[in-house]
A and B are shown apart, each in its own frame.
Chain A
Amino acid sequence: MTTNGEAWHADDQALRGLVQGTTGPVAAASLEAHLMRCETCRAQLNTLALDDSLERTWLLVRATVESPEPTGVERLLQACGMSEETGRLLAAVPAMRGAWLLGVAVVMAFAGLAAAFSGNLGIGLFLLMAPLAPVMGVAAAFGGDADPAQEIVVTAPYSAGRLLLLRATAVLLTSAPIAMLVGLALPGPGWLTIAWLTPAAAGIGLTLALAPLTGLTNAAASIGVVWSTLTLSATRAHDPLVVVDSIGQLTCLTLVVIAAIAIVSKSRILELPRRQKQ
């Protein structure tokens, strides 16, 4: 009878003693044991223990529960020692998302297939696509409309330069391995696997350097057109590898340096107003 929680209830005085901490140890232990089985006494104790701090705690619980769960990519980046904020900014880079990776993989796979059937044309296609994929990725990562995290990026208390490097690295890290894998499978010379990296770097650098003048998307598009023309005409002349021979590599390296200087000097100008406060 006394254990079913219905026949017997603690009175207010006993419960109040529990709230105030004046009840003796044995009495308190017995009361606490009863509470676990008795809904009525719990409800009664709730009314006696009511205070503002419970409502504040609830707001904290709700805030925690409502904050979005980190995605798989974010958790992976955090596991690699990245801060939560950096992880979120990176995970929001379009190149980090499945659709983008799938697109790059499919295009590269087609280039690989084409190379398997008709040597030069396939190599030409590979050389056309491999450097352009990261360039387009960077354009998408900084391209305003195409970037769903644009507003976060604009308001993030990050130096523009650091953010730029961070996100460009993310793009390269996701695009480069796919292109390298396809390059390995191609019939051409072994160095083809990495030969496209310098044109890619030059493309990214020029895109970022030209962006303030022409807009990011336009810069990426013009570079795409120039690069396509070069590789396609080289392919038509039966040697697509010309675009990545030693002269091509040197030209690209020079462009990388020029672009880097342009970007660094520009970002210094961009950040000057922020640093005046120091």
Chain B
Amino acid sequence: MTEEREVDSASFYQFLAEKKLMASRCKKCQALFLPPHPICTKCHGNDMEWVEMKGNGKLAAFSAIAVGPSCTIEEGYDRDNPYLVGIVELDEGPKVSGRILGLDARRPENIKMGTPVTVEFLEQEEGRRCFVAFKAQ
């Protein structure tokens, strides 16, 4: 029963490993939170439940990263091989940060705001946790 897991980051990443993008929802005012807040910032209620996002949304902001942190250099990215990150507004409402796939990171000027995207789950090397990505449809 997924609903019974603690509302915390460990559960969020456990869900991601199971290929589920989960938000927390306030049982009192129905506000949705992603990342999953344990206390509702709208009505301050603390009775939260997990709810799965369908994973469809639109690109709301992005960047093509040419100078990345150590972990993406290890993935093989550099100035000549940039990668995309972005903020996606999900159909359900919340916005999520994630890696952006399926668009040309070398031609960021051609990327259209509002491009429809769908969630993907990227696994890093063994022992490291899964993270959120979105692929252009």
Question: A and B, one complex?
Answer: no
Where the two chains meet, the residues of B that have a C-beta atom closer than 8 Å to any C-beta of A are none
A contact residues vs B (CB 8 Å cutoff): none
